[in-house]
Structure 1
């Protein structure tokens, strides 16, 4: 039977009154309106159609179970339209996936539980409690797995158990993995992306899953790398840790997207079903990669990677046995990680100012101060190895180093970008005029852009590049400071 207009209005008002008495509505900075059941920290977008449970569904179920009635779609739509309009005048509050900042210097970890219980990490310890909805609003997706309740007072036992399960090749690799896990519990600290490498059969995928599941629960898993940036951003937005498995090739576009994910970026897109409206997507997430050979690593991504080398295990175990043991000790591992996180955050250490990922370098220094490990030295060594990899795969970098070897320490050379292109091209070609390789800069502008990417890598080898201008032209300066480390000991072999 079709309801008259007079019948529809009371239904809309009944739904609206019920909704406002049982839910709290607010908006985020991008204008999305969320609904939060009174006293519960999990919030859902009111327009969500997801299979994780939309607000429309929970509203219909609540109305039915409380004996108020079953309402048709028109009444529900009109009620939600009104609620959304009213919520747009409310204060802005962010929503968070998995980790969040709290009051008084605390941070939160969402355990993914239906009862909303979470971990509050504060300056003197950590507790399991349900956050005040006005302090933390959790957003859940299908990727939000449930974590076990962490065990208190483990005396570091969980860290030892984790290291026995993983096949990390060295103690330095182990302390870098620990530093990364602690960084993942910080909502504001950018962390480099672990790149798990090693010979075939070293358990790179298994090790990656273990690290991810400490933060994301036993349903956390690795994924194939998306084909384009848009799909990668979509996957990143739905969870906290994004783990990409078995990378065999990295396009420049994918490399740039990964740089943005690690250190943070904002994406602006046209809103669906509109002519000119846009919506903003801000993202910064922990990223984890596994692979044997991804080809040439671009220098800007190398600064944001954390190589973790694994070795082949001496004793093989079945998948079922391994993951059964891991699930059993995960509460202890998580408890030990939380204990260590509190200690590390309380430790005082100087902030290294010479590294791109300064926040993570500071965390490594704090870990050293709290435990006596040498995480910062291991991080520096890992970046040095990555610089070697970048130079080994970049003929332009090798040519610049070869040219710089002939510059006296404490002096510099200035030329226009076109003059540098002619100089470096001639040095590469040599007396036998061999052809320039594929991808070699074709114009001064392209050369200048390539050198900007290589600038940190070459600086680590004692070759400084700078840009400037005179009254008549712009120039590029290549210098070897007298106090700098000389270029790599071995002259590049072409």
Structure 2
């Protein structure tokens, strides 16, 4: 056969690839490849340590006896495949947890065979998902989970709580509610903050909680020094666990708020001047530490304090983790059983809490088990409000002034007038020096009050803003007590 009659290498590669792989694109234009019938997708441009599609294609062609091809032929073939895939339908990829058809959700077990857990309204099954329903994306942070045990009769939850050193039922039921929330991809969940005295096992409990979802290779890590590195780590896994926090900078606090409730970051694409790529993320977050100092109000509404105590009997690391590894399939099976029951329960959604989806989940858990998760969640938010107030001298001064207001009567002043009023109240007759960070202008005061508004409202102080012909104003009031008949009806 003459050279002109030979099939070009790029054509052989392209034909083989289209026969044995499925190609699609995501909303940001990234093209992925899946082996036929396999749910794990690899970006065709990836050269990461988890394996690229280029490597996968080369190995499979060699094993099938198609041949070994040089880099130029592979590049030309993949360039054509990528161009063709850009005309295909858009499909998202997911890490660890994904929505499915008919109200089901999926949990990736991280296995090479692609077997996953399908959680549906009537139960859960271990299946290999249809690639058109779920496409898994794997990274170095994706660990393998054991096959969950069946017919556990709920004993796995008791085994987990026995291994952790939670201070009481309130922290235990909130930890269980958070784990159930981690299996729901569409519901933001508050970030548990494991706190307690030194030696209470905060790091160990944090690892145990996250490894139920992330596998035994999941681990805690130090908080990155900048937001970009934090976002990179968050986007590569499902649960992000930060260990031994001792200080919370404003930038880190804002980044954590975005992680919990969801945000998007846009960055310049490498080796380009005008192209960008989008990184969207909303992930479960877990924190540990003795004390992080002053907590900002917006983060406080997204935290879930879980308190631990020092154990009376110490065990070696080897004994503890050997037992955990042995019971992990039972723990996971019990968690899946409880998740199905909770999702089937009917409960009203509390309308006064910011994380309303998680509050409803707590209400469903209470209907199913009677653990009292919703009252515990409300109490935890109340404690966090106290922490915010104790760390903010402006909030303390506002509450002190509000105590002098007549209930039901609004006090209305400009921001500058309020600044003078509150500053005079703080300084007092002895002209006490103002603390660092005290508002210096009416605009700064207005912005600080907007951050504190939910915290102050939880303490019965309402702050509002408005405008008249004379200019803008800030209004402060305490609601009037309800009539005696309404108070009796409340009880």
State whether structure 2 residue 25 is matched by structure 1 residue 27.
Answer: yes
Residue by residue, what CA displacement relative to the aligned partner does 1:434-471 show, whole Å, maximum 9, x if unpaired? 11100111111111111111111000000011111113
Residue by residue, what CA displacement relative to the aligned partner does 1:185-238 show, whole Å, maximum 9, x if unpaired? 000110000000001000000000000000001111000000011010000001
Distance 2:478 2:464 in 1: 12
Distance 1:21 1:250 in 2: 52
Residue by residue, what CA displacement relative to the aligned partner does 1:70-111 show, whole Å, maximum 9, x if unpaired? 111111111111111110110000000000000000000000
Match of 1:156 in 2: 154
Checking the alignment, whether the CA contact within 8 Å between 1:8 and 1:75 is kept in structure 2 is: no
Match of 1:397 in 2: 395
Match of 1:79 in 2: 77
Distance 2:469 2:240 in 1: 49
Residue by residue, what CA displacement relative to the aligned partner does 1:318-377 show, whole Å, maximum 9, x if unpaired? 001100000000000000000000000000000000001000000000000011110000
Match of 1:340 in 2: 338
Checking the alignment, whether the CA contact within 8 Å between 1:244 and 1:288 is kept in structure 2 is: yes
Distance 1:451 1:317 in 2: 48
Moved over 4 A (4+): 5-9
Match of 1:272 in 2: 270
Identify the match of residue 429 of structure 2 among 428, 431, 437: 431
Distance 1:394 1:309 in 2: 23
The 3-state SS of whatever aligns with 1:104 is: helix
The 3-state SS of whatever aligns with 2:101 is: coil
Match of 2:199 in 1: 201
Residue by residue, what CA displacement relative to the aligned partner does 1:258-293 show, whole Å, maximum 9, x if unpaired? 000000011111111111221111100000000001
Match of 1:189 in 2: 187
Of residues 195-204 and 469-478 in structure 1, the stretch that sits farther from structure 2 once superposed is 469-478
The 3-state SS of whatever aligns with 1:281 is: strand
Distance 2:59 2:275 in 1: 34
Identify the match of residue 308 of structure 1 among 306, 309, 315: 306
Match of 1:136 in 2: 134
Residue by residue, what CA displacement relative to the aligned partner does 1:289-309 show, whole Å, maximum 9, x if unpaired? 000011101010000000000
Q: 1:9 to 1:444 in 2, by over 3 A?
A: farther
Distance 1:8 1:86 in 2: 24
Identify the match of residue 330 of structure 1 among 328, 331, 344: 328
> CA offset at residue 66 of structure 1?
1.1
Distance 2:257 2:336 in 1: 28
Distance 1:272 1:433 in 2: 57
Question: How does 1:39-50 map onto structure 2 within 5 Å?
Answer: 39-50=37-48
Of residues 413-422 and 350-359 in structure 1, the stretch that sits farther from structure 2 once superposed is 413-422
Distance 1:367 1:8 in 2: 67
State whether structure 2 residue 220 is matched by structure 1 residue 222.
Answer: yes
Match of 1:446 in 2: 444
> CA offset at residue 423 of structure 1?
1.2
Checking the alignment, whether the CA contact within 8 Å between 1:176 and 1:379 is kept in structure 2 is: yes
**Where does structure 2 lack aligned partners over 5 or more consecutive residues?**
483-491
Distance 1:154 1:324 in 2: 20
The 3-state SS of whatever aligns with 2:77 is: helix
The 3-state SS of whatever aligns with 1:411 is: coil
Considering only aligned residues, what root-mean-square deviation do their CA atoms show, in Å?
A: 1.2
Match of 1:376 in 2: 374
Distance 1:46 1:296 in 2: 45
Distance 1:255 1:37 in 2: 41
**Where does structure 1 lack aligned partners over 5 or more consecutive residues?**
485-494
Identify the match of residue 295 of structure 2 among 273, 294, 297: 297
State whether structure 2 residue 359 is matched by structure 1 residue 361.
Answer: yes
> CA offset at residue 6 of structure 1?
7.0
Match of 2:234 in 1: 236
The 3-state SS of whatever aligns with 2:126 is: strand
Q: How many residues are paired up?
A: 480
Identify the match of residue 109 of structure 2 among 108, 111, 121: 111
Distance 1:227 1:276 in 2: 28
> CA offset at residue 160 of structure 1?
0.7
> CA offset at residue 472 of structure 1?
3.5
Distance 1:23 1:386 in 2: 51
Q: 1:269 to 1:483 in 2, by over 3 A?
A: farther
Identify the match of residue 316 of structure 2 among 307, 315, 318: 318
Match of 1:489 in 2: none
Tell me the TM-score normalised to structure 2 length: 0.96
